[in-house]
C-alpha cells in the first residue's frame, strides 16, 4: 500500500507487522520526498523487501525514545538529517540559529548537536550488541579524522565516537541494501568488511590488498602538516574506480578502514530510485505544529542529476556524491513533473530542474566511467580540460519537454549554473534559451570573488571568465529585450583573502553598482580542501602556506567591505581602510567607498549640504572637499562675514 512508513507502533500494527527489520533514527522530521536522504534510503530498503520504522527527532535524553518499535530484527539506522546538525544549528559566527527548517513549525532544539554521535550512544545504552549503521551527510563527511570548526579541534572518526559498527557514506542506495542483505543472511556485523561505500572498524589489516595506511590519529593531532598530507591522500582516493582502501590507526590497535566509494548509479538505477512510492510531503502528524518549511523549496522542483566535477575547494561534494555525474532519463523526470502538476497547490511553475550543478548532464569525459576521475587535475580549473565534453543539448532538450507540458507556465533554473562551462560552449543556444525562458528577472551565479589570488584558493576560474560571462549575459538579454540582472553569490574571509583582496572586491562592486543583500562568510565544514587550509594554514595539494584570517573582528571587516553601503558597517569599513592604508577610499569622490567622519559626532558626513560642498569643490574649484571645507571655515571667521560673531551682536 502507498502510505507513509510507520512512525509509531499503531502504524506498524496496521500493516500487520509484529516488528521491524530496521529502526531508522533521524534528526529531521519525517518528510517522505526524494529530496530528503532518509526518505530515499527507507524507500530503497522497502523496495528490497525490508520493513523500516521511522523514529524522527527522538528525545535524546530519554533511552526509551528509541524503543517505539521494540528491538529491530536486523539493526538501527542513524542519520542526523539532510544537513550536518552543527551547520543546521549554528551560523559561521557560531551563533545559535533561531529557526530549524527541518523541524515542525521551525522550532529549534529538537535535535542535539553532533546528532549522529548522540543518537548512536543513546541506542548503545540499551542495545549493547545490536548493529548500528550510520549515514547521511554528517556521518559521510566525518568518516575519518576531521577538523571540527565548532569545537576548534581535530576529532576522531564519527564511527568511533558514535559507537556505531558501519558507516554507509556517500549516496548509500547500493551499500545500504548490501549491508541489509549481509545481515539478513546471518553474517555478523563485524564481518561485513567487503562492501564498497562503507567504513568499518578492525583490529588488523589481514587480507587487505593495495591499501594505504594513513598517519596515526595521534600524529595528526600533534602536527597539522601530517593532517594536511593525510587529507590529500583521502582526497585523491574518493573515486569509485581508482580509489584505494584507506586505514587510519588509533590507540588500542584499532583501525578505521574506508572501502572505495560505491560505483555511480546507472541511469536505469537512478530512475528506479526516483520512481519509488514517495508521499512527496511531510507526515500529517506535523500539520498541527505548522508543517515543515523545508518542503516548500523542493515540492515543485525536479532533481535531474547528482555529483559534480566543478571542483570548488570549499564544497564537500567530492567526498559525498563524487565527481562523476549521474543522471535520470528524460522520461523519469517528465513523469515526476506530471505528478507535481496534478498537485492541488501547483500554480504552473516548476521551481527548479537540476542538482549540485544544473547544467551538467553527463560525465566530464568518456574515460571517467572506465578509469575514474583524474587525481592530478580538475575538469574545469584552472582552465577547462582538453578532454572535457561541453554539450548543453541534452539539458536543453529536457527543459523544452518540460516547457511543453500542460499546465506549466514557466520552468525555472535555480540550481547552481556553472558559468565557466557555459562560456566553454561555442554554441549559444542554451545560453539564449535560458535567458528567454528559464529566468524571472534575475539569474543567481557564484563567482564567489573577483580577486584571482582568492579565486585560485577557491578553485574557481579567473575573474576574466566571469566578466566575459556578464557581458555576454547582458548582450543576450538586450537582444531579447529583457531587463534581467545577475545576482552574484560572494564569499568573504576564504583562505587566501586578506584585507587587500576584500577591498579589491569592494571596489569591483562600486564600479559595477552592485549592492549584495546576502554575503556568505567562509564556513569551515568537514572534508573540504578549504577547511583543511583553514585548519593547517597550507594547501594540502602543494603544502605551500596559505593566508588564513582567523580573527573574528578582521573577518567581520572583510564581510562589511562587501556591504560597505550599509550604514551599520561604517565603522568596520572605516577601520579596515585605515588598517590597509587605503584612506584614499574615504571621501566624496566617486571612487570612495565611504564619506569622512563628521568631526562633531563621529559619524559619516553624508548630509545634503556636505554633499553639495563636495560637488561644488570638485567641479567648480577642482579641489578636495577637505581643502574646500577648510577655506569655508576660515572665511566664516573673517570680519564682515555674515557668519562672523559681529553679525550676531545686538545693535
Secondary structure of 473-516 as H, E, C letters: HHHHHHHHCCCCEEEEEEEECCCCCCHHHHHHHHHHHHHCCCCC
Give the residue among 176, 195, 165, 184 at the shortest CA–CA distance from 136. Answer: 176
All residues at 6 or more sequence positions from 383 whose CB lies less than 8 Å from its CB, including other chains: 461
pLDDT at 31 over 80: yes
State mean pLDDT over 190-213: 95
Say if CB 80 and CB 33 are below 8 A apart: no
pLDDT at 640 over 70: no
State mean pLDDT over 561-571: 96
State mean pLDDT over 468-478: 97
Percent of residues, the chain, with pLDDT higher than 70: 92
pLDDT at 632 over 50: no
Q: Strands 132-135, 75-79: parallel, antiparallel or unpaired by DSSP?
A: parallel
All residues at 6 or more sequence positions from 149 whose CB lies less than 8 Å from its CB, including other chains: 86, 523, 524, 525, 531, 534
Per-residue confidence (pLDDT) for residue 232, from 0 to 100:
97
Question: What is the C-alpha to C-alpha distance for residues 175 and 181, in angstroms, rounded to an integer?
Answer: 10
pLDDT one-digit tens code per residue, 12-23? 999 999 999 999
Per-residue confidence (pLDDT) for residue 630, from 0 to 100:
53
Question: What is the C-alpha to C-alpha distance for residues 328 and 518, in angstroms, rounded to an integer?
Answer: 33
| DSSP result, 284-312 | GGGGGGT--GGGTTTTTEEE-EE------
pLDDT one-digit tens code per residue, 420-431? 999 999 999 999
Sign of CA dihedral 237, 174, 353, 279: negative
pLDDT at 333 over 70: yes
Q: How confident is the model at residue 624 (pLDDT cuts 50, 70, 90)?
A: low
For 110, phi then psi, to 5°, come to: -85, -5
Say if CB 417 and CB 443 are below 8 A apart: yes
pLDDT at 610 over 70: no
Per-residue exposure over 453-489, b if at least 16 CB sit within 10 Å of its own CB, e if not: ebbbbbbbbbbebbeebbebbeebbeeeeeebebebe
Instruction: Give, for 167, the enclosing helix (H) or strand (E).
Output: strand 166-168
Give the residue among 148, 168, 167 at the shortest CA–CA distance from 156. Answer: 148
Alpha helices in 191-302 (DSSP H): 217-222, 224-235, 267-274
DSSP secondary structure code for residue 129 in this structure: S
State mean pLDDT over 32-42: 97
Per-residue confidence (pLDDT) for residue 369, from 0 to 100:
87
pLDDT one-digit tens code per residue, 528-549? 999 999 999 999 999 999 999 9
pLDDT one-digit tens code per residue, 350-381? 999 999 999 999 999 989 988 999 988 899 99
Question: What is the C-alpha to C-alpha distance for residues 246 and 251, in angstroms, rounded to an integer?
Answer: 17
All residues at 6 or more sequence positions from 313 whose CB lies less than 8 Å from its CB, including other chains: 457, 458, 459, 528, 529, 530, 533
pLDDT one-digit tens code per residue, 503-523? 999 999 999 999 998 889 999
| DSSP result, 336-392 | HHHHHHTSTT--SEE-EEESSSTT--S-SSTTHHHH---SS--SSSSS--TT-----
pLDDT one-digit tens code per residue, 596-608? 987 554 555 444 5
Question: What is the C-alpha to C-alpha distance for residues 326 and 317, in angstroms, rounded to an integer?
Answer: 13
pLDDT at 45 over 90: yes
pLDDT one-digit tens code per residue, 285-328? 999 999 999 999 899 999 999 999 998 999 999 899 999 999 99
Q: Any idea how long the chain is?
A: 651
Question: What is the C-alpha to C-alpha distance for residues 612 and 623, in angstroms, rounded to an integer?
Answer: 14
Whole-model pTM: value is 0.90
How far is residue 389 from each of residues 156, 348, 367, 434, 473, measured CA to CA in Å?
40, 34, 11, 20, 22
Say if CB 199 and CB 220 are below 8 A apart: no
pLDDT at 623 over 70: no
- Report which of residues 218 and 603 the model is more confident about: 218
For 235, what's the count of Cα atoms within 13 Å in the CB-facing half-sphere?
Answer: 27
| Cα-only R_g, the chain | 28
For 248, phi then psi, to 5°, come to: -110, 115
| DSSP result, 533-552 | HHHHSB-TTT--B------H
Per-residue confidence (pLDDT) for residue 183, from 0 to 100:
98
Give the residue among 170, 310, 306, 144 at the shortest CA–CA distance from 240. Answer: 170
Say if CB 121 and CB 155 are below 8 A apart: no
All residues at 6 or more sequence positions from 171 whose CB lies less than 8 Å from its CB, including other chains: 262, 265, 306, 320, 321, 322
Domains of the chain are: 9-201 (3.40.50.280), 300-440 (3.30.750.210), 448-588 (3.30.750.200), 608-638 (no CATH)
Say if CB 167 and CB 139 are below 8 A apart: yes
All residues at 6 or more sequence positions from 333 whose CB lies less than 8 Å from its CB, including other chains: 302, 304, 353, 398, 402
Question: What is the C-alpha to C-alpha distance for residues 396 and 401, in angstroms, rounded to an integer?
Answer: 9
Per-residue confidence (pLDDT) for residue 641, from 0 to 100:
42
Per-residue confidence (pLDDT) for residue 597, from 0 to 100:
82
Question: Mean pLDDT in the chain?
Answer: 92
Give the residue among 334, 138, 169 at the shortest CA–CA distance from 243. Answer: 169
Say if CB 103 and CB 158 are below 8 A apart: no
Q: How confident is the model at residue 615 (pLDDT cuts 50, 70, 90)?
A: low
Give the residue among 96, 98, 86, 100 at the shortest CA–CA distance from 31. Answer: 100
Give percent helix, percent strand, percent coil of the chain, each to the nearest 5: 40, 15, 45
Sheet holding 520-521, edge to edge: 442-448, 485-492, 520-521
Per-residue confidence (pLDDT) for residue 621, from 0 to 100:
44
Number of Cβ within a 10 Å radius of residue 402: 20
Per-residue confidence (pLDDT) for residue 639, from 0 to 100:
41
Rounded-to-10 torsion of CA 394, 398, 404, 405: 160
Cα angle vertex 298, ends 295, 326, to 5°? 135
Say if CB 26 and CB 57 are below 8 A apart: yes
Per-residue confidence (pLDDT) for residue 377, from 0 to 100:
87
Per-residue confidence (pLDDT) for residue 612, from 0 to 100:
54
Q: Strands 326-327, 305-306: parallel, antiparallel or unpaired by DSSP?
A: antiparallel
Q: Exposed, middle or buried, 42 (CB in 10 Å: 0-12/13-18/19+)?
A: buried
pLDDT at 576 over 80: yes
Question: What is the C-alpha to C-alpha distance for residues 579 and 554, in angstroms, rounded to an integer?
Answer: 10
Question: What is the C-alpha to C-alpha distance for residues 91 and 100, in angstroms, rounded to an integer?
Answer: 12
Amino acid at each position: 500500500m502507498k502510505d507513509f512508513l510507520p512512525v509509531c507502533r499503531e502504524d506498524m500494527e496496521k500493516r500487520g507487522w509484529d516488528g521491524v527489520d530496521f529502526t531508522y533514527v533521524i534528526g529531521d522530521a519525517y518528510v517522505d520526498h526524494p529530496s530528503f536522504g532518509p526518505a530515499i534510503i527507507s524507500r530503497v530498503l522497502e523496495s528490497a523487501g525490508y520493513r523500516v520504522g521511522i523514529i524522527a527527532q527522538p528525545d535524546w535524553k530519554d533511552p526509551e525514545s528509541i524503543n517505539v518499535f521494540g528491538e529491530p530484527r536486523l539493526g538501527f539506522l542513524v542519520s542526523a538529517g539532510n544537513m550536518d546538525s552543527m551547520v543546521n544549528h549554528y551560523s559561521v559566527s557560531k551563533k545559535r540559529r533561531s529557526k530549524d527548517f527541518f523541524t515542525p513549525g521551525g522550532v529549534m532544539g529538537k535535535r542535539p548537536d553532533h546528532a549522529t554521535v548522540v543518537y548512536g550512544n543513546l541506542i548503545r545504552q540499551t542495545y549493547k550488541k545490536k548493529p548500528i549503521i550510520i549515514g547521511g551527510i554528517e556521518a559521510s563527511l566525518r568518516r575519518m579524522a576531521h577538523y571540527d570548526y565548532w569545537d576548534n579541534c581535530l576529532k576522531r572518526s564519527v564511527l568511533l565516537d558514535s559507537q556505531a559498527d558501519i558507516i554507509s557514506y556517500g549516496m548509500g542506495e547500493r551499500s545500504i541494501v548490501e549491508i541489509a542483505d549481509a545481515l539478513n543472511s546471518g553474517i555478523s556485523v563485524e564481518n561485513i568488511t567487503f562492501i564498497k561505500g562503507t567504513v568499518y572498524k578492525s583490529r588488523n589489516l589481514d587480507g587487505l590488498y593495495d591499501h594505504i595506511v594513513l598517519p596515526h590519529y595521534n600524529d595528526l593531532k600533534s602536527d597539522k602538516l601530517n593532517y594536511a598530507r593525510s587529507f590529500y591522500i583521502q582526497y585523491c582516493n574518493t573515486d569509485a574506480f581508482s580509489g584505494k582502501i584507506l586505514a587510519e590507526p588509533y590507540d588500542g590497535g584499532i583501525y578505521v578502514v574506508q572501502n572505495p566509494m560505491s560505483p555511480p548509479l546507472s541511469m536505469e538505477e537512478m530512475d528506479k530510485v526516483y520512481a519509488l512510492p514517495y508521499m512527496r510531503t511531510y507526515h500529517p502528524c506535523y500539520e498541527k505544529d505548522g508543517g515543515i518549511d523545508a518542503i516548500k523549496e523542493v515540492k515543485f522542483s525536479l532533481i535531474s542529476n547528482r555529483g559534480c566535477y566543478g571542483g570548488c575547494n570549499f564544497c564537500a561534494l567530492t567526498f559525498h556524491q563524487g565527481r562523476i555525474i549521474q543522471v535520470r532519463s528524460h522520461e523519469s523526470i517528465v513523469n515526476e513533473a506530471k505528478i507535481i502538476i496534478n498537485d492541488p497547490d501547483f500554480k504552473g511553475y516548476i521551481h527548479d530542474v537540476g542538482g549540485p550543478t544544473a547544467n551538467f548532464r553527463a560525465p566530464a569525459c568518456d574515460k571517467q566511467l572506465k578509469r575514474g576521475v583524474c587525481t592530478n587535475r580538475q575538469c574545469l580549473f584552472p582552465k577547462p580540460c582538453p578532454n572535457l565534453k561541453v554539450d548543453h543539448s541534452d539539458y536543453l532538450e529536457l527543459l523544452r519537454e518540460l516547457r511543453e507540458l500542460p499546465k506549466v507556465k514557466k520552468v525555472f533554473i535555480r540550481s547552481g549554473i556553472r558559468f565557466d562551462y557555459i562560456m566553454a560552449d561555442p554554441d549559444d543556444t542554451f545560453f539564449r534559451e535560458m535567458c528567454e525562458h528559464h529566468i524571472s528577472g534575475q539569474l543567481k551565479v557564484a563567482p564567489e570573488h573577483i580577486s584571482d589570488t582568492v579565486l585560485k584558493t577557491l578553485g574557481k576560474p579567473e575573474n576574466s571568465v566571469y566578466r566575459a560571462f556578464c557581458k555576454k549575459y547582458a548582450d543576450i538579454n538586450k537582444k531579447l529585450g529583457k531587463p534581467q540582472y545577475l545576482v552574484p553569490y560572494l564569499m568573504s574571509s576564504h583562505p587566501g583573502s586578506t584585507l587587500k583582496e576584500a577591498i579589491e572586491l569592494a571596489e569591483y562592486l562600486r564600479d559595477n553598482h552592485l549592492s549584495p543583500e546576502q554575503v556568505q562568510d567562509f564556513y569551515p565544514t568537514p572534508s573540504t580542501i578549504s577547511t583543511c587550509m583553514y585548519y593547517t594554514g597550507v594547501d594540502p595539494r602543494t603544502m605551500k602556506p596559505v593566508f588564513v584570517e582567523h580573527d573574528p573582528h578582521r573577518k567581520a571587516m572583510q564581510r562589511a567591505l562587501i556591504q560597505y553601503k550599509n550604514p551599520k558597517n561604517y565603522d568596520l569599513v572605516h577601520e579596515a581602510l585605515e588598517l590597509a592604508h587605503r584612506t584614499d577610499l574615504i571621501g566624496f569622490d566617486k571612487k570612495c567607498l565611504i564619506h569622512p567622519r563628521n568631526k562633531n559626532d563621529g559619524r559619516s558626513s553624508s548630509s545634503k549640504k556636505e554633499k553639495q560642498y563636495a560637488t561644488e569643490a570638485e567641479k567648480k574649484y577642482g579641489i578636495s572637499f577637505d581643502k574646500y571645507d577648510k577655506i569655508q571655515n576660515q572665511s566664516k571667521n573673517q570680519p564682515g562675514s555674515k557668519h562672523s560673531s559681529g553679525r550676531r551682536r545686538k545693535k
